[in-house]
Amino acid sequence: MTTLEQQALEYHAAGQRGKVAIQVTKPVGSQTDLSLAYSPGVAAPCMEINRQPSKAYEYTAKGNLVGVITNGTAVLGLGDIGALAGKPVMEGKAVLFKKFAGIDAFDIEIDETDPDKLVEIIAALHPTFGGINLEDIKAPECFYVERRLRERLSIPVFHDDQHGTAIVVGAGLLNALELTGRDISLAKVVCSGAGAAAMACLDMIVDLGVRRENVYVCDSRGVLTTARTLSEEKRAWAQDTAAATLSEVIGMADVFLGLSGPGLLSQDDVRKMAARPIVFALANPEPELRPELVREAAPDAIIATGRSDYPNQINNALCFPYLFRAALDSGARGINQEMKRACVQALAALARGADGFGPGAIVPGLLDKRLLGGVTPRIAAAAWDSGVASRQLDPAAYRLQLEALGKTLL
């Protein structure tokens, strides 16, 4: 039998190499067409943009173009494999942008690990794009790079490993809490992992109503406590406790949030949790504990993973295409917390409105045709209401426009 790895290599090498290509959008079949596409006609839009930079969104692809940018220091579950080896992932991200939201994307792999130099390179590229999706940059540098770019640039900058994961986790958690009859303000959460994705997820669930004092976080050295010397990001989650290990803090926890590595949650840990536990074992490709083993320990658990071969896949593709679609269409200067929260609520509502909503379907599926029209308008409305957008879109008309676009994509 052909392995998945062999199939993947054949898939990427078949026909035209890779997964993306450039498509020409204007006629170039005559000498007149060529004179308009390039010299001398192209001088006219150049001069208009020189006089009024916002015209770039009218005369060029900037308004529908996202840069997918990495330095390859934290690629999927593969780690620091370098910019070049990360290119297939970035091409894949470009495919998802196009497939799910009709957004064009250039993948850019930058061979630079110094965060200040990386910021300078990306900032210098910004005239090309209407938005920048940072991808697979390791912590803690990713926090710094995103913050500096958001301060400098007037286009959306979004580190998907952090915020994309947080948004889908937030949607799934809201529905899991509802299905188990829990009050979010009383839920005890134990998190395994203290990297970029974990920190963003924790910020999001607190924004949604989890109390910070009910959250216990573990990194590779154990529980984050006030007795330890910690980075600024980790210090914000330190608890005043003598507990040192995950097993010592997981007793009667309602929620396990895993963004760490394989084997870090045991069946005994699951048995210590509250009745009907919520287990998000999101390490990829191998979760902290396989769902079938979680189920053995707690038959009534609600389980989510990052894998496509189990129910409740927490996949960033449920949000980033629609966030950027809304940001580009509304002329947003950034992607703020209000837009992210709107995305969480919209995803949760779509799952609740689907046939089969229940413990095995707490988030929508990736190919749910309702996503583009159901999620994007709510994000665009939040962008306008929060003052970050330059264009107010009519929700009903915009939804119809997106639904028509969706029919050409899926």
Compute CA 382 distance to the chain's CA centroid, rounded to the nearest angstrom. 18
Question: How would DSSP label each residue in 180-230?
Answer: TT--GGG--EEEE--SHHHHHHHHHHHHHT--GGGEEEEETTEE-BTTS--
Q: What are phi and psi of 66, to 5 degrees?
A: -115, 140
Q: Tell me the torsion sign for CA atoms 311, 322, 161, 215.
A: negative
Cis, bond preceding 285 (omega within 30 deg of 0) = yes
Burial 283-305 (b: 16+ CB within 10 A, else e): bbeebbbbbeebeebbeebbbbb
- What are 243's two structure tokens? 């507990």
Q: Which residues are catalytic?
A: 38, 93
Biggest CA–CA distance in the chain, Å, is 78
Structure tokens at 258: 């895993």
Please report the DSSP string for 348-376 in residue order.
HHHHHTSTT-BTTBSS--TT-TTHHHHHH
